[in-house]
Every structure is written in structure tokens, then in C-alpha cells.
Structure 1
Amino acid sequence: MKLQCEVEVINRMLPTFGMRNRGKGARAVLSIGRQPQCKTGGKSTAVYLMICTLKDKAGSKYKLQENIEQFFMKFVEEGKATVRLKEPAVDVCLSKANANILKTFLSAVRLANQGCDIDTLPLSSLTPAKTSEIEKPRMKMIITSKRDYPLTKNFPYSLEHLQTSYCKLARVDMRMLCLKKLRKLDLSHNHIKKLPATIGDLVCLQELNLHNNHLESFPVALCMSTLQKSLQCLDLSQNKIKALPIQFCLLQELVHLKLDDNELIRFPFKVGLLSKLRFLSAARNKLPFLPASFKKLSLESLDLFGNEFEQANPLVPSIQLTIPLTLLETASRATLNYRIPYGPNSVPAHLCEDLDVAKSCDCGNSCLGCFIQTTVTVNLHHVSHTVVLVDNMGGTEAPILCHFCSLTCYSLFLDKYLQSNR
């Protein structure tokens, strides 16, 4: 049986001679086994604990039977334990081990100490460890050219940061999606056109950089995945994205979002739900206006330079209001306003989709297909502490879309608007 972890062997006699232990663990492989041969040529019955490190690949051996004074296992769930030997007088301190493997390993050590039948023990051959077994797990890998890209061997499973830029990748390598510890994935400056839904299986992923690729959309499946709870930084700049899905606003852990140099014609209309978003840039797109929920954001930095914002004109609304309201509109408004639960089991799927994209009136009520729509100018400093100028004229204002559920609501808004502009 083998265990990979960090080990510190502390000699308990050193303080007697006024000496100190170095106090630092080393990456090691621990094995439980028998000596290949005893001096008489027969099989050895003694069971040993062998510790191999990078400096001592041949390993140091310690007899186990009736040689363990005490086990210290208070922090075994954290991958830590200590085995105190009688002869020599050392403490074998283990850390950074897999908790489940550590428990099994310590059970085998205990059985060996008690002199159990060696045939029942999961023994290993006491042979020198390989360098690959002892080396510290690789946490970071950066590849910036196609010739350095690994084709014949897998990425180290211990990776937490992987960058593969300028490698001309046409798709996401499925081997990357096996890296369950990955926190940062940088695929910038490639030729990726489509993202696989399985990126959502990277449960620890906090940063995803897709700058300068050929993406035309962001998958709904990723918005519905575990990325909802992990993804904090997303860079989709310099792609060909025209719109983000409604479900994008489910990524509520987002803090940094970059959408520069795309072909965006609209933001997700519920973008205001991204309550943790602090840094947003969507420069050089084709945004004509911002959604009403944009006013709910609380940003530290905002960059909307170079968009094709329309001139706001609250006095020229788009009226899509029918009087009296249709039965469908009345029922839909009641469902939303009274917060009546709905789903595909009780309401047809296409109606569920319509309810999910309902507009909100300034009065707080909802409306579906019957509303009055107009745009108003909003100073972006009300949304963000720092604002990059919207245009070359030094402006920091942008048009925001507003909806009204009735003529009464629109009239009240119009009265306030006219009074404020007198």
C-alpha cells in the first residue's frame, strides 16, 4: 500500500543534545511492505514502513511490528496525522494527504504493528520511488505556442491554472474538462467557435478567459451549470457575440465581466440581477440602449465607449397597448404580480418562456405583450463609481429602456419628466 503526502520525520532525541528539527515537510511516498529477501535467502516476515523523498529516493525504512508507541489522528479529516515510533525515537508527521486514503493507510500500519497475518495486509514492494511519484503536484501550466501544446500525454490532474493561448485551437480540448481542481482557465487568442456544455462540470472554476476567439454565442447550459456558484471572472471580449441568453443572469457570483469588441445589440434584460458585479466593460459594440434593470447595478468601473446609442426621446413612445387587455395578458400579469408559482407541469412551455421575459413597469407591476415603451437618458455615474466616457464628446449618459403597464403609469412618468425639464 502507498500514500503520497508531505512528511516530516522529527527526531525526539535532538532537543536532548540542544539541536532543533528543521521543521519543514517534504513531498514523499510512503509504502508498507516486506524486505525482498532476508540474509538467509528466505522471505522476510518483518513489515516495514518506507519513506521515499526527492533527496532520498532509495527510502528510509522503519520496522512496524510492536514498534508504534502512539497514533495522533485528531486532524485526520484534514489529511493530517502523526505516527510515533519507539525505535528509532521519531515522530512521522503526515500532512496534505487524501483523508480517505490516509485512514486506510493508518489502519494497515496499525494492523502491522499488532503483528497480524501479513497475508491479510495490503503490502507493496519496498522499491525506490519514481521521481514522478515524489515531485510536488503541478498547479500551473502556461502554453503560448502550438508547438508546445501536449498531444500525446494528458494535462496533470493537479492543475489549478491552465493557459493555452496562441495554439490555434478550434475547439476546447476535452482533456481539460477532466481537471476537476481547475480554478483558472485561459483559452484566449485561439479559434474556438463553440463552447461545450461540459465546461460547467468544472466545479471549482472561478476565472474563464475566452478573449479573442470566434465565439458567436454563450451556451444556456453553462448558465444553468455549477458555474452559477463558482464563476467570478469572465472575459468574452473580441469575439462575435450578438446577444447573451436570458439565463446569463443566473451567474450571480460574477464580479468581473468583459464583453468588449463583440457585436452585442442588447444586454440580458435582467442584468440587474448580477448583484455582485463590480467591473463591467462592453466597449465597441452595437448597443442602441440599456435595459431598465441596468439601473439596479452597483459597479466600481463601467466602460461602454464606442457603442451606437440612440438618442433618448421619452416624448415619442412605442405604444403596444390594447384596451381592454387580452385574457392572456390579464392572466399573465396576475400570475406574476401575485407571485403564483408556475412551471411546465401547470403552464404550457411557451407561456413559461414568455413569463420569464416579462417586463417590469415603474410602478412595480409586470406586463407581457401589452405595454408602452420609451427610452430615457440616465447618467451612468448613478450606476458606477468610475465611468469611461461613452463617446468622444465627453458624455457619461446613455439611454435606458423603460416600460409602462398602462396609460396612467406613462402619464405619471411624463408629468415628472416635464416638471424636471422646465
Structure 2
Amino acid sequence: MKLQCDVEVVNRLLPAFGMKSRGKGTRAVLSIGRHLDKTNQRNNIYMMICTAKDRAGSKYKLKDNIEKFFTWFVEEGKATVRLKEPAVDICLSKADANSLKNFLSAARLADRGSDTSSLPLSTLTPVRAKDVEQLKKKLTIVSKKDYPLTSNFPYSLEQLQVSYCRLSRVDMRMLSLKALRKLDLSNNHIKKLPATIGDLSCLSELILHNNHLEAFSKALCLSTLQRTLQLLDLSQNRLQFLPAQFCQLRELVNLKLDDNELVCLPFHIGRLHKLRFLSAAHNQLAVLPSDFRKLSLENLDLFGNPFIQPNPLDHTMHLTFPLPLQELASRAVSNLRIPYGPHLIPAHLCQDLEVAKTCDCGCVCVNFYIKAAVSMNLHQVSHTVVLVDDMGGTDAPIQQHFCSLSCYSQFLDNSLQRGIR
């Protein structure tokens, strides 16, 4: 029985001498096995702790020698074994929770002197240096020849960069790194992202700069990334659009979309309330979504997009008279904030309601509206704005929707009055 974890052996007599422990563990391998007791020439079961400084190991007798187990935080990979002789506490941390439970069960049986024939005992021998190395938290690979083909990535990694390795897909071994906080796969040939990236429950930075991505899946938008992802770099790819569910990634602070083929930004981008840095330069954006007004940014870069010159008289008519009953019902659900879901109404109606538009008057329109583009100074949504064009402008067209002819007429009257002034 072996266990790899961090260990600190604390002498309980230290406070009596005005001393205290370091409070910091050392990487170690713990083993439970038989050892010949020279005092009585009997084989007893011992716990041996091997560290980088003491690879030969220190042994502690277990039978009738454990005063208490402290296991309140065993699910977090932490526990303490209190020995009677010597008077020490063996503090364990950074262990795999299941392995730790099994190890403590074996130690408990050894302490009771139970039948040890069923215990998975180990040989108490010195360990190899690599077995007691400190946990590796950061790994950078920037050459294909350095890419690990026969060995796994260290499970303790929190930051992993694999660039310039010509990867055509994400290595599934990376997706077992549950402590991963930053994953940088820039400068590869990745075409598609597996939905299981969403299983990386600690991931806060995902960098996919300069790949061959053509889509960002709905599954990723609905994964645990909703709660963790703060930086997403999708620049220099082949993206033409982002799914409506993209705006479920509400922890995003920094979003990079430069040098793609985007023809539009997500309809509900205004739901990204924590977004502070947005760059979508050199795409194919002709107009910004109406929800763009709700953003509150520190830095915005939309340079190099073929924005149209807005004209209030240019509009697209999606109105019929009278309005269909379904449209009236959908508007009522949204305006009255009536709860809905696929368990109450058909799924396609839920999808329509998810992309409902808001008129200038504050009312909602779903599939029937008048659409026009108006000019907006980007300083209204961002403290710093990179110039939109070579002419030094910071204005960009933004879509506007009107629920009725009267609302559109009132908008035209107001636009005309501003023009006269």
C-alpha cells in the first residue's frame, strides 16, 4: 500500500519549547509494509515516509500506536494521523481522495492488529528521486519533438501551453488534468474543440489563437465553463459566427476574436456583464447587435470591419397586419416576464423567445418587427476605443428594432429633428 502526497510530520511537544511547525508539507511517498523489529525480532507493520531529503525513509510502528485519525477534509485530499509514540501528527495533503481513503483504511486495520493477510502491503524500500519530486504545476511545450508521446502529462498541472506542435485536435490526455486553470493551444492546426473541454472545472483561461477553428460549440457554452472561464482567445481562426448560447459564458472578462470571418456578434452579447476587454478587429462585421449598448468595457477594438454607413430611412420590414396570434402571445410572455421552458411550450418557441428584440419603447418583439441601423459612438460602452477606421472615427452602426409602425415613425421624427439642429 503506497500513497503519494504532501506530508508534514509535526512534533506535538514543540509548543512546550516555544516552537511551532512550518505548516508546509513536503512531497513524499508513504508505504505500509512489514519490517523486522530488532528489539523483539518480530515482523511488525510500519508506515514509512520517504521524501527527497530522506529517500531511505523514516518508519513508524502502526499496531496499537495510532491515537486518532482526523478525516474532516478527506474529500479534499487532506487528513492527519496522530501517533502515540513518538508524539507526532502526520499531516497529509494534496492526495487523491480515493487513494487517501484506502490508505487510511489500511492504517486503521494495522493499528487494530486485524488479520493482515488481506492488507495490500508494500516492500519498505527507498524510493526513486522522481517519485518524490515536487508537484509540477506549469508545463510549456513549443516544439513537436518535445511533445510527450509515451508519457502522460503531470496530473498536477495548473498551466499547460502546447504551441507550434501541429496538433490537428485536442489531445484527450489534457482533458484529465482536473487542476488545469490555463490551457494554451495557440499556433496549431486544431479544427474542432471536444465538448469535454467543458469538464475542466477549474479552467479560467483558454487560448486558441492561430488555429483552424470553424465553430465554437453550444455544448461548451453550456458546460462548467459558464462558471470559470474569464479569458477566451479565439483570434486568427475561421469563425463565421458564434452560437446564441455563447453569452452564457458570463464570467468572461477578456474576449479576443480578431482576424476571423465573423459576420455578426452574438445577439445577447450584452449579457456578458463582466466583460471588460473585447477585440474583434479584422472581421466581416457590417453592424453591431442592439444588445451591444448594454456592455461596459475598458478597452474595445473593432478596427478593420466593413461597417455600413447607417441611414435611418433604410430599413427592413418584418411586420404583418394584424400580428399573428403566436407573435402576440410571445410578446406577452416576454413583456409580462411569464416563466417558460421546454416543459411548458415547444422547444422552437423557447428558441424564438431567447432571441426576442427590445424596441425603443421598451416592449419586446420576437419574429415581427422593423429593423434599421443607427450610429453609436463606441465611447458610450467603452472607456478606451481603438479607432474604427482610417478616418479616425469611433462611431459604428448598431441594429435597432421597432415593434410597430408608430414606434418607427417616432424614431424617424426624432432623427429628423436632430438632423435639423
Give TM-score, length-normalised by structure 1. 0.90
Range moving further from structure 2, 83-92 or 247-256? 83-92
Matches within 5 A, 1:80-159: 80-99=78-97, 101-119=99-117, 121-159=119-157
Distance in 2 between residues matched to 1:347 and 1:283, nearest whole Å: 40
The answer on whether the counterparts of 1:258 and 1:280 sit within 8 Å (CA) in structure 2 is yes
Matches within 5 A, 1:12-23: none
Distance in 1 between residues matched to 2:23 and 2:172, nearest whole Å: 42
SS in 1 for 2:298: strand
Of the candidates 41, 48, 51, which is equivalent to residue 49 of structure 2? 51
SS in 1 for 2:203: coil
Distance in 2 between residues matched to 1:245 and 1:189, nearest whole Å: 24
Change (3 A) 1:21 1:286: closer
Change (3 A) 1:165 1:375: same
Amino acid at match of 2:33: G
1:243-285 Cα offsets, whole Å, 9 max, x none, are 1111111111111100001111111111111111111000111
Distance in 2 between residues matched to 1:392 and 1:301, nearest whole Å: 18
1:124-180 Cα offsets, whole Å, 9 max, x none, are 221222334322222211110111111222222222211110111111122222222
1:237 Cα deviation (Å)?
0.4
Distance in 2 between residues matched to 1:77 and 1:350, nearest whole Å: 42
Match of 1:372 in 2: 370
1:368-419 Cα offsets, whole Å, 9 max, x none, are 3321111111111110111111112211111111000101111222233333
Matches within 5 A, 1:135-284: 135-284=133-282
Change (3 A) 1:406 1:138: same
SS in 2 for 1:293: helix
Match of 2:351 in 1: 353
Match of 1:416 in 2: 414
Distance in 1 between residues matched to 2:285 and 2:224, nearest whole Å: 29
Match of 2:2 in 1: 2
Distance in 1 between residues matched to 2:76 and 2:226, nearest whole Å: 27
Amino acid at match of 1:7: V
Change (3 A) 1:50 1:267: same
1:77 Cα deviation (Å)?
5.7
1:26-47 Cα offsets, whole Å, 9 max, x none, are 2111122212x5779x9x4411
SS in 1 for 2:232: strand
Distance in 2 between residues matched to 1:315 and 1:396, nearest whole Å: 22
Change (3 A) 1:38 1:215: same
SS in 2 for 1:228: helix
1:102 Cα deviation (Å)?
3.8
SS in 1 for 2:330: helix
Give TM-score, length-normalised by structure 2. 0.90
Distance in 2 between residues matched to 1:315 and 1:303, nearest whole Å: 28
SS in 2 for 1:46: strand
Change (3 A) 1:181 1:94: closer
The answer on whether the counterparts of 1:45 and 1:118 sit within 8 Å (CA) in structure 2 is no
SS in 2 for 1:182: coil
The answer on whether the counterparts of 1:29 and 1:133 sit within 8 Å (CA) in structure 2 is yes
Range moving further from structure 2, 83-92 or 160-169? 83-92
1:290-319 Cα offsets, whole Å, 9 max, x none, are 111000011111111111111111133222
The answer on whether the counterparts of 1:177 and 1:202 sit within 8 Å (CA) in structure 2 is yes
Amino acid at match of 1:145: S
Of the candidates 383, 394, 397, which is equivalent to residue 395 of structure 2? 397
SS in 2 for 1:154: coil
1:215 Cα deviation (Å)?
1.2
1:212 Cα deviation (Å)?
0.5
Range moving further from structure 2, 267-276 or 114-123? 114-123
Counting aligned pairs with the same residue, the percent is 68
Distance in 1 between residues matched to 2:303 and 2:210, nearest whole Å: 19
The answer on whether the counterparts of 2:371 and 2:401 sit within 8 Å (CA) in structure 1 is yes
The answer on whether the counterparts of 1:211 and 1:237 sit within 8 Å (CA) in structure 2 is yes
Distance in 1 between residues matched to 2:79 and 2:199, nearest whole Å: 32
The answer on whether the counterparts of 2:278 and 2:300 sit within 8 Å (CA) in structure 1 is yes
Where in structure 2 are there 5+ consecutive unaligned residues? none
Distance in 1 between residues matched to 2:67 and 2:356, nearest whole Å: 70
Do structure 1's residue 32 and structure 2's residue 32 form an aligned pair? yes
1:22 Cα deviation (Å)?
6.5
Change (3 A) 1:178 1:46: same
1:50 Cα deviation (Å)?
0.7
Give the aligned CA root-mean-square deviation in angstroms. Answer: 2.8
SS in 2 for 1:333: helix
Range moving further from structure 2, 340-349 or 165-174? 340-349
Where in structure 1 are there 5+ consecutive unaligned residues? none
The answer on whether the counterparts of 1:272 and 1:294 sit within 8 Å (CA) in structure 2 is yes
